[in-house]
Amino acid sequence: MAFPNNIQNKKLRSIAEKVHSDAPVTKEDALCMLKTDDILDLGAIANHIRTRLHGNIAYYGVNMNLNYTNICELRCPLCAYSCDENDENAFLLSFDDIEKRIRSAVSMGIDEVHIVGGLHPKLTLGYFEKMIRLIKGIKPDMHIVAFTAVEYDYFAKINNVSLEEVFRRLMDAGVEALPGGGAEIFSGHIRDIIAPKKISGTKWLSVMRTAHKMGLKTNATMLYNHIEEPEDIVDHLSRIRDLQDETAGFKTFVPLQFHGENTKIDIKRFTTGYDDIRIYATSRIFLYNVPHIKALWMYIGDKMAQVLLRFGVDDIGATYHNEKVVHAAGAQTPDFGSESFLRRLIQRAQLMPERTTASYRIVSGHPKEAAI
Ligand code: SF4
In a domain, 209, yes or no: yes
How many Å apart are CA 80 and CA 102, to the nearest integer? 25
The answer as to whether 336 is a domain residue is yes
Residues facing 58 on adjacent strands:
353
Residue 71 Cα to ligand 1 middle (Å): 9
Residue 364 lies in a domain: no
Query: Is the shortest distance between the CB of 223 and ligand 1 below 6 Å?
Result: no
**Structural domain range at position 226:** 57-355
Angstrom distances, CA of residue 4 to CA of 12, 16, 46, 240, 271: 11, 8, 10, 27, 28
- For ligand 1, say whether the CB of 74 is within 6 Å of any of its atoms: yes
pTM higher than 0.85: yes
Name 107's Cβ contacts closer than 8 Å, sequence gap at least 6: none
86 part of a folded domain? yes
Please answer whether residues 228 and 44 qualify as being in contact, where contact means their C-beta atoms are separated by less than 8 angstroms: no
Q: Let me know: does 146 contact 357? Beta carbons within 8 Å.
A: no
CATH number where 183 lies: 3.20.20.70
In a domain, 19, yes or no: no
Distance 131 CA to ligand 1 centre (A): 20
How many domains does the chain contain in total? 1
Are 147 and 155 a contacting pair, CB within 8 Å? yes
Task: Report the alpha-carbon distance of residue 129 to residue 132 in Å, rounded.
Answer: 5
Maximum alpha-carbon separation in the chain? 61
Helix intervals (H) in 108-162:
125-138, 149-159
Which ligand 1 atom sits nearest the alpha carbon of residue 75?
5
- pLDDT tens track of the chain, all 372 residues? 667 778 889 999 999 999 999 998 999 999 999 999 999 999 999 999 999 999 999 999 999 999 999 999 999 999 989 999 999 999 999 999 999 999 999 998 999 999 999 999 999 999 999 999 999 999 999 999 999 999 999 999 999 999 999 999 999 999 999 999 999 999 999 999 999 999 999 999 999 999 999 999 999 999 999 999 999 999 999 999 999 999 999 999 999 999 888 888 888 777 899 999 999 999 999 999 999 999 999 889 999 999 999 999 999 999 877 655 555 655 666 656 788 999 999 999 999 999 999 889 888 644 343 333
CA torsion, ordered 20, 25, 205, 186, to nearest 10 deg: -140
Walk across the sheet containing 292-293 and list its strands. 63-67, 112-116, 143-146, 177-178, 217-224, 250-257, 292-293
**Is 313 inside a domain boundary?**
yes
Does residue 36 lie within any of the structural domains? no
Q: Ligand 1 pocket, 325 CB below 6 A?
A: no
Q: Is residue 236 part of a domain?
A: yes
Output b/e per residue, 30-66; b: 16+ Cβ within 10 A: bbbbbebeebebbbbbbbbbbbebbeebbbbbbbbbb
CA of 118 to the centre of ligand 1 (A): 6
DSSP state of 199: P
